[in-house]
Amino acid sequence: MDGVVDKVYATAIFDIAVEKEKLDDYKLELDTISGLFKNDNDFFEFFKSPRIKKEEKKEVINNIFKGKLSDDVLNLLFILIDKKRGSRIKGISKEFSRLYDEKMKIVDAHVKSVVELDDKEKEKLTKTLSDVSDKRIRLTCEVDKSLLGGLWIKVGDKVIDSTIKEELKRLKMRLDRTIV
């Protein structure tokens, strides 16, 4: 149920952002709020607490964010307070980011390699993955010594495993199937 609530609110604010051509601004604002709540648990507890009066919460939120957030994002916070759904802000922000990435054709790519990739290798890999997927790539890299060599790449939900470790597994399976 919570996922549905997140989608409804995220889609509503996303549609407003698209209509007003403020998609990047609203994404930044929601990321900032979500990050603030993630880093300041006491403030998040205050925001979502059913024991604190709505008016008090709105006054604090208004004092902190008035002039720093768009009226639409500020109103979203007020609506969440009114509907006692303050705890959903992180999920709403996450869903908004997913909608943003989909619209902007951005996909996450995670790469594992035995050695740290240099900037030139990362740039080349990003370009190749972008050309193949026809999307903008947000690349994260990780060193994994257990791979022995090669690359393990996950783009969206697709995995390309060209590691030596995986090649050795495949070779072993072929050898095991070979009748002697």
In order, the DSSP letters of 33-67 are HHHHHHH-HHHHHHHH-TTS-HHHHHHHHHHHHBT
Helix (H) or strand (E) holding 160: strand 158-163
Provide the phi-psi class of 110: left if phi over 0, else alpha when psi is between -120 and 50, else beta: beta
Mean predicted confidence (pLDDT) in 11-18: 97
Length of the chain: 180
Sheet (strand 106-113) strand order: 136-143, 106-113, 150-155, 158-163
For 14-28, 80-94, 110-124, 166-180, which range has the lowest pLDDT when averaged over its residues? 166-180
pLDDT attached to residue 1: 62
Residue 139 near residue 112, CB atoms below 8 Å = no
pLDDT tens for 54-94 read 999 999 999 999 999 999 999 999 999 999 999 999 999 99
Q: Which of 1, 8, 23 is nearest to 92 (CA)?
A: 8
CA dist., res. 22 & res. 2, Å (int): 26
pLDDT attached to residue 176: 84
pLDDT band at 180 (very low <50, low <70, confident <90, very high): low
Average pLDDT, the chain: 93
pLDDT at 168 over 80: yes
CA dist., res. 17 & res. 142, Å (int): 34
Q: How many CB atoms lie within 10 A of CB 86?
A: 22
pLDDT tens for 92-132 read 999 999 999 999 999 999 999 999 999 999 999 999 999 99
* Triad 115, 121, 123: Cα angle to 5°: 135
The Cβ-side half-sphere exposure at 21, using a 13 Å CA radius, reads 0
pLDDT at 179 over 70: no
